[in-house]
Structure formats: structure tokens, C-alpha cells
Amino acid sequence: MSEIQPESPDELEQMLAKALGKSLPSAPSAPDAESAQELPSDQPRRCGLVAIVGKPNVGKSTLLNALVGHKLSITSRKAQTTRHRITGILTQDTVQYVFVDTPGFQTRHGKALNRSLNRTVTGAVGDVDLILFVVEATRFSLEDAQVLALLPQETPVILVGNKLDKVHRRNEVLPWLESMRDRFPFAEFVPMSAKQPKDLKKLLSTCAGYLPEQDWFYGADELTDKSQRFMATEIVREKLFRLTGDELPYTSTVVLDEFKEEGTMLRIAATIVVERDGHKGMVIGDGGDRLKRIGTEARVEMEKLFDQKVFLQLWVKVRSGWSDDEARVRSFGYE
């Protein structure tokens, strides 16, 4: 059987379009980043909000980071890594894309934390110009269906068939796409891998045509609307999840205690909150080794992001049942 060539998404798209008896809409091309220095006076500016939605662990945060060319949204193999509405801004020539990465919609737990995450998802899709519905190419699960049911039909939705590089049989793609067309009136289909620059450029070109003509929301050099304080806690949480693997339950979080400049150095203190004494031991590790490694890796990444020296202190505290306490969930910064 023939193999898919992920490096040639245009060929695959044309094959699918021909088989489905339609031509793909042609959106204006998104210019390269190098051309963002000069704004042509005879071309109107475009700007709009683009929500990235999908089930947990489908690659939304990786896609956001790849599109904007910077790490803004943390990633790990653990479900529910993204817990906030993360805004990533990309400005190219006359177009400003304001991408909104959302938490994966939660269906397996009904705790206060999960209800908060789901409110973030539903709130994000209600006020955007375009939605990217991200699924793994050739796959569609009950969790995917539950997210799809949330999407408004009055907002254009692009079906992003992600992780195309993991699909090896070309004949699996067309039947899958036909079944997806029966599920929802998608505006377009973009097969891609977030690892492929050509695929990312194609997705940007497609998105550009759906953004309204209006002035930009942010400056041309802005990357996110999130503060350094927010990014600091997210970096610690990422290292926590990455270094504890599946041992630590998802009901762990990070709360910022201190963030202040002292000369040329940033002094940052944060508390890792867990729900049980046993979880505290997992985070600390033998002789404090794991907590020390979490702190070291977080500090190195902060210094790279903030471009200055960082002094980081971490503590671990037990707050039993916090994830099912609405007031405490809000106090920890969740919507």
C-alpha cells in the first residue's frame, strides 16, 4: 500500500478534494515572518481571534507554540496540562493572528477544577472569529465528539487533522474525512503535522482568509497577553508534570508566592499544592532530589524566557480536597 508523504500536504489535499468532488477554498497566503517589518500602505490590516480546541493530549499546545514560533503554552504527556486560556500572538505583514489555546474538554471527572476548565473552553469558543478543531488524523473518539458538540455552527470551524506524520496508509484518510464531513459543516480541512514548517504555513494561509479587516489588537512585537508572573507558575507546573510522570495525580497545581526584582535578579517563590501526604513525598523525592531537579529545570527556563538571573524557591504543601472546592479553585487562579 502507498505511504503518505507528510512533507507534501498540498498533494494530499488536492487528492481529497478531487475525491470529494469539490475544490478547496483559496485563502490569501500568509507572508513569511521576515516581511513583517514593513506594512504595505495599500493593503488593509486583518486581525482576529482563533481558538484552538480539542480533547486532552491531542497536540493543541504544541500546535500553538509551533504557530507563534515561541514556547508559550506548557506541554507534557499528562492530560490536563493546559488549564488556562493561553493567548499567543503572531503578526506577519498585514495580518495579526491571536491564537487562543484552551484546556482539553474534561469528561472523566466532575470536580470543581474540571468544571472550571470546561467553562474556559466554552467561553473561548463563544467570542472568536475562527475555530481550529484539532483531532488526530484518521481518528475520532467519544471525547472528540463531546468537544465537537460544543462548537457553534455560526463560527467557521477548520478541521485540523494533526499528527499526519503518524498515519501510514493513504487509503485510511478519505473514508475518515467523509465521515467527519457528515458530523459537522467544517469550513475546511487541513491535514498536517505541527513538526512540518510547510504544514504550519499552509494552516496560517488558510486562517488568514477568515480574519476580519480591522486594526491589530496588540503591538507587532507582542507574543502573549500573559504576565511574567503567570509564565513563571506555568513553567514550574510543566516541570512538575514532566518529572513526576504518571505518579502524581492531575489534581496538583502551583501557586506563586513572590515575584520581585532585586537589582538585576528576579526573586521568585512558589508553592506546589498537592492533595495528599503521599503526593508530597512524590514531589520531594529521595532526599529532596526530585524537588531540586524541578526547581533547577524551571529556573533555567525562566532565565532564558525573562533574560535575567532568577533565584527560585519552591515549597510543597498539602491542601486536601482543593480540586473539588469551588472557592479554593478560584483562589488558585482558575476561572
39 within domain boundaries: yes
CATH of the domain at 282: 3.30.300.20
Last residue within a domain, chosen from 208, 237, 252: 208
| 261 shares its domain with 198 | no
Q: Report the number of distinct structural domains present in the chain.
A: 2
| 20 shares its domain with 157 | yes
What is the model's pLDDT at position 210?
96
What is the model's pLDDT at position 62?
87
* DSSP state, residue 333: T
| 31 shares its domain with 128 | yes
Give the chain as a 3 state SS string.
CCCCCCCCHHHHHHHHHHHHCCCCCCCCCCCCHHHHHCCCCCCCCEEEEEEEECCCCCCHHHHHHHHHCCCCCCCCCCCCCCCCCEEEEEEECCEEEEEEECCCCCCCCCCHHHHHHHHHHHHHHCCCCEEEEEEECCCCCHHHHHHHCCCCCCCCEEEEEECHHHCCCHHHHHHHHHHHHHHCCCCEEEECCCCCHHHHHHHHHHHHCCCCECCCCCCCCCCCCCCHHHHHHHHHHHHHHHHHCCCCCCCCEEEEEEEEEECCEEEEEEEEEECCHHHHHHHHCHHHHHHHHHHHHHHHHHHHHHCCEEEEEEEEEECCCHHHCHHHHHHCCCC
Last residue within a domain, chosen from 208, 240, 260: 208
280 within domain boundaries: yes
Distance CA 329, CA 265 (A): 31
What is the model's pLDDT at position 299?
97
**Residue 69 to residues 112, 194, 225: CA-CA distances in angstroms?**
33, 11, 16
217 within domain boundaries: no
| 203 shares its domain with 253 | no
Residue appearing with cell numbers 531540586: 292
Written as nine digits, the cell of 304 is: 532564558
| 118 shares its domain with 160 | yes
Domain that holds residue 280: 228-331
| 197 shares its domain with 256 | no
213 within domain boundaries: no
| 245 shares its domain with 191 | no
What is the model's pLDDT at position 257?
94
Dmax (CA) of the chain: 65
| 184 shares its domain with 286 | no
What is the model's pLDDT at position 90?
95
CATH of the domain at 84: 3.40.50.300
CA-closest candidate to residue 138, choices 102, 164, 100: 164
314 within domain boundaries: yes
| 320 shares its domain with 234 | yes
| 177 shares its domain with 134 | yes
The DSSP-derived string for 31-100 is PPGGGGGS--TTS--EEEEEEEE-STTSSHHHHHHHHHTS--S---SSTT---S-EEEEEEETTEEEEEE
What is the model's pLDDT at position 200?
94
222 within domain boundaries: no
220 within domain boundaries: no
| 189 shares its domain with 45 | yes
Last residue within a domain, chosen from 208, 242, 261: 208
223 within domain boundaries: no
Q: Length of the chain in residues, anyone?
A: 335
| 201 shares its domain with 243 | no
Distance CA 23, CA 31 (A): 23
What is the model's pLDDT at position 103?
62
Q: What order do you get walking across the sheet with 46-53 strand by strand?
A: 86-92, 95-101, 46-53, 130-136, 157-162, 188-191
Tens place of pLDDT per residue across the chain (335 aa): 344 443 455 555 565 555 544 444 444 444 444 434 444 556 899 999 999 998 888 888 889 889 998 877 756 454 444 445 678 899 999 999 999 877 655 445 455 655 655 566 566 677 889 999 999 988 999 989 988 988 888 999 999 998 888 887 767 888 898 899 999 999 999 988 888 999 999 999 999 999 999 999 999 999 888 888 988 998 998 899 888 876 665 677 899 999 999 989 999 999 999 888 888 998 999 999 999 999 999 999 999 989 999 999 999 998 887 666 566 555 555 55
